[in-house]
Chains A and B, each alone.
Chain A
């Protein structure tokens, strides 16, 4: 066992870099010509995006008959993907807002990237509500605009709450992210030698001049934004869970859904952030900024949220039996032992069993192990949404309507495309914007702050 020294505050950033070294490290990927690795990665993700675009194009042209959705499983891949991607986004806000409120300094190295991921994930998620009707150009009717029918949107519908929640979430995340980027763009503006870069950095930095009179307001704004983003992030996945839970379908109607979905969202989001960071820190030589300690803390969060999700699985099972409602108990027994048992057990293994490895410190700090567990968690969380959606629907109240849902190639194509879109955005982002918040990292360096006298 490693000896600890609790008397001193552990360094968030290792190797004690100077302030200018941080500038250099963060700006390096943006200044260097694109590396081959980057090009290959972009190529792969762009190809995936194209696959998705083609599948989607065909689906819209041919009609939604191209998908596997059919009675009784009218909700399938689109909502599963939607919930999955919105969930991925939650880690970003958690890191940037909630951990900020909890004064967790280790968040500084990863906050910017996680926020960017939030935005990209929500963008990816936003596609599915638009396309799932097969008529995305009619999405204007989702908003409470006066129209020729004299009709308004239905404010009682959880699907409408989704519209408000996801669009608010996207906007607020974007503002949060951009506000954080302004000082960094200012730094890049003062650093760059290229005219074109200078123009764009000036444009985006709005003429920020590192004034401490500004920082005074800025820090307050950051607190206010974090204060609002925290309940917002809870509300978003809560409302997503309402899509299911306000119904009376056995397996969907459970009061634990809101916190359970939020925990699950954070869980999958952390896994995704952790996965990408492992690659990123290696690629950009940021091992001392995104440290192993930070990753270890993320793994602890994974372990904790994984157990929360496990608690919810258990609670659902227990109450299904306890309620004495035969339909409820049937659904849960069917989940575990019915047609879709394979999906259920993939979910349980990936979400509850694998993260238990993180009880061991060695495994928690092993890059390979944590990467694999992270991938498993994301697979598991995707299957969680699949299990919830499909198992409940495929077993209707009338046994004559029972059916086995099978996705088609186009369903998979669109799923692949969603990953393509997400990673394309991520890969473009790491090239064109600072992936680490320079001002925040500088702020947590010990040498940068006055010591208390």
Chain B
């Protein structure tokens, strides 16, 4: 214990990125408003993509925190504040959802009661797919997430001062309770916002698919920010490459996991060839969507896989940063692929609106991260496992 010397000096994040974030946010906001005026439908769809992207990272970060507590991981403890700040995106996600909620009819075919009346399948689903229940699910889901967000991060913050070990135990219990709730809420969030865009289509694995993509994107954001902050010495300590290796390995693992889930879904639908399922993939093979679909394999699997495969790459901070940004982009690409063929069935048609919402989302991430991190320790200095985390060796 005596050898351990770690003196944390609090530094506030530089304003450079914050300014960029504000710029992006304003571009996104203004562009988004214009978008809604010019092309209401497209803006609403782009809004859904931004919403699901932001939620992915927010809820994914909560998942990372919970997993850390559950399995007793130590390498991630010094970086846990990064995940905690990211998880605060959950708080702003409902705001992102607001314009979409106001334009529900532009997004969801099932929200048109007259269309549902004449459609046997949709009529059958209407006990689930109706506006009021949709709102209820939305509210309940986010309330649950808020609840766990506040409880877990609060305990973590209090621990900075009290260094009370029982708080770690408390958070472990909270995390254990959170995970099953997380599984269910994320699934229904994905079904509501992405799967029901094509209300006739169904796939039991869809929740897992969204989960895999979300955790992958979160890990990428987490890795990028953690490395950036580490290199700018916000953590007041130099971590060995072994800590970053864990990030690289997890990115690699989840890239594979995502590919596995995506392939399973495609394979089963393609092989069985049932018309009520295949139409979804056929729509994504329509015209230029075919190129986009094949691009998914390259963007989300081959590129990150090839970059992360060599052993040294997993702890090479430079490569990790590049691949993290790539994966964050890939998540947009994937969400676009999930949502947009419903709007443009004939082929890919890209408009400026498709760019302002991602800009808004990225800007929001940066701004929220900065605001939340204000006046807070960037390292959980009270966590009893911090020392083990800093001294982490493979």
Instruction: Let me know if B124 and A324 touch, CB within 8 A.
Output: yes
Closest chain B residue to A8, Cβ basis: B388
Interface string of A304-342 (1 = CB under 8 A from B): 100110011001100100111100000000000000000
B165 in complex: contacting residue of A5, A311, A323, CB < 8 Å = A5
Closest chain B residue to A303, Cβ basis: B176
Closest chain A residue to B388, Cβ basis: A9
Q: Find chain A residues with CB under 8 A from B387 CB.
A: 7
Residue B29 CB within 8 A of the other chain: no
Q: Smallest distance from the beta carbon of B199 to chain A beta carbons, Å?
A: 10
Residue B371 CB within 8 A of the other chain: no
Residue B99 CB within 8 A of the other chain: no
Instruction: Let me know if B272 and A247 touch, CB within 8 A.
Output: yes
Roughly how many angstroms separate A325 CA and B203 CA in the complex, as a whole number? 13
Interface string of A5-30 (1 = CB under 8 A from B): 11111000000000000000000000
Residue A94 CB within 8 A of the other chain: no
Residue B358 CB within 8 A of the other chain: no
Known: A256-B204, A259-B205, A315-B187. Contact between A246 and B272, CB under 8 A? Answer: yes
Instruction: Let me know if B384 and A7 touch, CB within 8 A.
Output: yes
Instruction: Let me know if A323 and B268 touch, CB within 8 A.
Output: no
Roughly how many angstroms separate A307 CA and B205 CA in the complex, as a whole number? 16
Instruction: Let me know if B274 and A323 touch, CB within 8 A.
Output: no
Q: Smallest distance from the beta carbon of A381 to chain B beta carbons, Å?
A: 19
Residue B348 CB within 8 A of the other chain: no
Residue A125 CB within 8 A of the other chain: no
Known: A316-B204, A325-B276, A452-B391. Contact between A6 and B165, CB under 8 A? Answer: yes
Residue B184 CB within 8 A of the other chain: yes
Known: A9-B388, A258-B264, A311-B184. Contact between A322 and B125, CB under 8 A? Answer: yes
Roughly how many angstroms separate A259 CA and B168 CA in the complex, as a whole number? 31
Residue B30 CB within 8 A of the other chain: no
Roughly how many angstroms separate A324 CA and B388 CA in the complex, as a whole number? 53
Roughly how many angstroms separate A3 CA and B124 CA in the complex, as a whole number? 54
Instruction: Let me know if B272 and A256 touch, CB within 8 A.
Output: no
> Which of A238, A258, A316 has its CB near the most chain B CB atoms (within 10 A)?
A258
Q: How many residues of B contact A (CB 8 A)?
A: 51
Interface string of B192-209 (1 = CB under 8 A from A): 000000001011111110
Instruction: Let me know if A319 and B203 touch, CB within 8 A.
Output: yes
Q: Find chain A residues with CB under 8 A from B204 CB.
A: 254-257, 312, 315-316, 319
Interface string of B10-21 (1 = CB under 8 A from A): 000000000000
Closest chain B residue to A248, Cβ basis: B272
Closest chain B residue to A238, Cβ basis: B264
Known: A255-B203, A256-B204. Contact between A4 and B168, CB under 8 A? Answer: yes
A4 in complex: contacting residue of B120, B165, B271, B272, CB < 8 Å = B165
Q: Find chain A residues with CB under 8 A from B208 CB.
A: 256, 259
Q: Smallest distance from the beta carbon of B92 to chain A beta carbons, Å?
A: 28
Q: Find chain A residues with CB under 8 A from B296 CB.
A: none
Instruction: Let me know if B165 and A322 touch, CB within 8 A.
Output: no
Q: Find chain B residues with CB under 8 A from A307 CB.
A: 180, 183
Residue B290 CB within 8 A of the other chain: no
Q: Find chain B residues with CB under 8 A from A9 CB.
A: 74, 388
Instruction: Let me know if B121 and A324 touch, CB within 8 A.
Output: yes
Instruction: Let me know if B268 and A253 touch, CB within 8 A.
Output: yes
Q: Smallest distance from the beta carbon of A334 to chain B beta carbons, Å?
A: 18
Residues of chain B touching chain A, judged by Cβ–Cβ distance below 8 Å, are 1, 70-71, 74, 120-122, 124-125, 128, 165-166, 168-169, 176, 179-180, 183-184, 187, 191, 200, 202-208, 249, 253, 256, 260-261, 264-265, 267-269, 271-272, 274, 276, 383-385, 387-388, 391, 393-394
Residues of chain A touching chain B, judged by Cβ–Cβ distance below 8 Å, are 1, 3-9, 101-104, 231, 234, 238, 242, 245-248, 253-259, 300, 304, 307-308, 311-312, 315-316, 319, 322-325, 359, 452
